[in-house]
Amino acid sequence: MVTIETSGGGESGTGTGFVFDEEGHILTNNHVVASAADGGKLSATFSDGKQYDAEVVGRAQGYDIAVVKLKNAGDRELAPLPLGNSEKMSIGDTTIAIGAPYGLSGTVTTGIVSAKNRPVASSDGQGSDASYMNALQTDASINPGNSGGPLLDGNGAVIGVNSAIQSGGGGGLGGGSAGSIGLGFAIPVDQAERVASQLIETGVPVYPVIGVRVATGQQGQGAVIAERVSDGEPVASGGPADKAGLQPGDVITRFDETKVDSSPTLIASIWAHKPGETVKITYTRDGEKRTTDITLGSRKGES
């Protein structure tokens, strides 16, 4: 476990991370290190007080995952935290959150998994685009500064990366001063491990896509494929959705096993899968319910 301190671009902050491998890679949130990504300062401090400078290896803004690497850490024997299986967790299972809420490093809180596959869109509080996750929800108390820290199961294995909270003021872990009201959200470790490995290997995230543009502001009725867009096509020609027969105006209501009630839910559900996977989707066209299989494509980078 490390406490991460960042500064750059007129911003500074504190977050949490944990040792991912013996080579000195630390897994954390993108919003924890974003201010230091372009020439800022980044350090990681262990519980024994030993501090190391660090550098960003890669960031995935959409997933809210980042990997940093310790500098000059040859004097330290690094012990990666064991990774669990987020899919096997059940509602009611024990959770343990460790981090540095409000800079109080080494803080441990406990709770349970209160929901699974919770679609969550969050931002870093600095005006950036949202990140999307099909989150593990927990009532373990997590607050600003817990960002990037591990959510553990009862055996001490990582099942998620703490990333966002719902507060009374609607804030998230990345910004604001509101505290926990018992609704915390963690990126499932199965997804976080996959993204971190991509970043270590190439420095660039890979996102699964279906090749559609969806209308924003729709809630409760599904994700509506846009009728028209100012740039490009609502349904990319030759893309996964086009091959599956989807058209502008179709309303996607289910993606794999997830009920889709909005565009953010659809995005979070897609990003919980891997490129190349084939999933079933349900949609309506002119009031008629239809189903089709779609094979996910891929997109490298954030744009």
Q: Which residues are catalytic?
A: 31, 64, 147
CA atoms within 13 A on the CB side of 37: 16
C-alpha to C-alpha distance for 158 and 301, rounded to whole angstroms? 26
- The string of DSSP codes covering 120-136 is EEE--SSSPPPEEEEEE
C-alpha to C-alpha distance for 55 and 37, rounded to whole angstroms? 8
C-alpha to C-alpha distance for 39 and 132, rounded to whole angstroms? 26
C-alpha to C-alpha distance for 262 and 102, rounded to whole angstroms? 33
What is the b/e burial string over 186-213, where b = at least 16 CB atoms within 10 angstroms of the residue's CB? bbbbbbbbbbbebbbeeeebbbbbbbbb
C-alpha to C-alpha distance for 282 and 183, rounded to whole angstroms? 30
Which residues face 151 on adjacent strands? 97, 160
C-alpha to C-alpha distance for 146 and 143, rounded to whole angstroms? 6
Q: Are 145 and 104 in contact (CB under 8 A)?
A: yes
What radius of gyration do the chain's Cα atoms show?
Answer: 19
C-alpha to C-alpha distance for 183 and 219, rounded to whole angstroms? 21
Tokens describing residue 226: 């846009």
Q: Are 281 and 149 in contact (CB under 8 A)?
A: no
Q: Are 252 and 264 in contact (CB under 8 A)?
A: no
